[in-house]
């Protein structure tokens, strides 16, 4: 980790239909607000390739009022940071509507902004840190080794992970091409490093480093408005478009 603040893009993923467990627990507490799961990403240019979203099964999430119309689902820690950064109103105030366990959100159907598959499901991931970002991770298995390996694990053993196979049915989508790994950078590196499961955290950290550098310095966009452009150029432009569309906002920590 560097010394300065980490500048994330916070992606707003609107809840379209709650899982049964979440519906029973939450619906009366939202005051009619639309709820968005908020995922912190360092790679906004990959959002075309979202296939699902991850929450931690040991993490407690809060639902926080943005205003009278909207609420965000994330960790309390992230909501407090957002409040001080002016993403919640009034600035500096955290209004928590309710809280819920990560496990109960699994199976919720959400809108993935800018994605080629616009509707995706919330799935469980072992390695989500409660101390980083929002505690919600949007999944881009084509370009994130962690996302690819976790999705692979879930598909192999849906009963073990207590998910319906259909929630994990969307295949990785090619969004960036790199000279060394082709149009599926993360799966190629996971294979090369012989990674077997999301428990291989050491090799996954190495894979993440390789994938990030390769994508950022050598990647070319395969889809979207900046198709054909270098990732290094497209990254900021996609971020700005998402913010202008009110599908994202700046989040730092």
Q: Which residues bind ligand A2H (CB under 6 A)?
A: 6, 40-43, 46, 127-129, 132-133, 135, 137-140, 143-144, 147, 208, 212
Q: Cα torsion at 238, 239, 241, 243 (round to 10°)? A: 160
Q: Closer to ligand A2H at the Cβ: 6 or 67?
A: 6
For residue 40, the minimal CB distance to ligand A2H (Å) is 5
Nearer to ligand A2H, 90 or 179 (CB): 179
Nearer of residues 31 and 232 to ligand A2H, judged by Cβ: 232
**What is the signed CA dihedral for 21, 198, 149, 155, rounded to 10 degrees?**
-50
**Minimum gap (Å) between residue 45 Cβ and ligand A2H:** 9
Q: Which residue's CB is nearer to ligand A2H, number 19 or number 146?
A: 146
d(CA 157, CA 206) in angstroms, rounded, equals 25
Q: How far is the CB of 47 from ligand A2H (least distance, A)?
A: 8
- Please give the DSSP secondary-structure letter assigned to residue 165: G
Measured CA to CA in angstroms, residue 17 lies from 22, 38, 118 at distances of: 10, 16, 14
Q: Nearest-CB residue to ligand A2H?
A: 133
Cβ distance to ligand A2H smaller for residue 65 or 74: 74
Least CB distance from residue 217 to ligand A2H, whole Å? Answer: 14
Pairing of strands 119-125, 52-56: parallel
Give which of 207, 155, 202 is closest to 181, Cα–Cα.
207
């Amino acid at each position: 980790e560097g010394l300065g603040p980490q500048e994330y893009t916070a992606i707003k993923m609107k809840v379209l239909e709650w899982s049964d467990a979440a519906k029973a627990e939450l619906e009366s507490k939202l005051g009619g607000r639309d709820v968005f799961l908020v995922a912190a990403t360092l790679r906004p240019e990959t959002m075309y390739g979202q296939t699902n979203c991850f929450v931690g099964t040991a993490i407690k999430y809060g639902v926080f009022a943005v205003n009278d119309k909207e609420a965000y689902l994330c960790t309390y820690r992230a909501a407090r940071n957002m409040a001080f950064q002016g993403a919640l109103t009034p600035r500096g105030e955290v209004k928590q509507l309710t809280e819920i366990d990560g496990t109960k959100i699994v199976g919720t159907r959400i809108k993935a902004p800018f994605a080629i598959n616009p509707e995706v499901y919330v799935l469980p991931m072992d390695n989500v840190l409660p101390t980083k970002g929002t505690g919600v991770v949007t999944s881009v298995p084509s370009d994130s080794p962690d996302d690819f390996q976790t999705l692979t694990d879930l598909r192999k053993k849906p009963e073990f992970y207590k998910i319906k196979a259909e929630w994990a049915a969307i295949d990785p989508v090619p969004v960036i091409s790199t000279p060394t790994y082709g149009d599926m950078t993360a799966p190629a590196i996971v294979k090369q490093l012989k990674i077997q499961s999301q428990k291989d955290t050491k090799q996954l950290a190495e894979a993440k480093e390789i994938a990030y550098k390769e994508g950022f310095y050598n990647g070319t966009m395969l889809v979207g408005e900046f198709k054909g452009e270098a990732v290094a150029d497209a990254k900021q432009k996609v971020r700005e478009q998402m913010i202008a569309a009110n599908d994202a906002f700046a989040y730092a920590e």
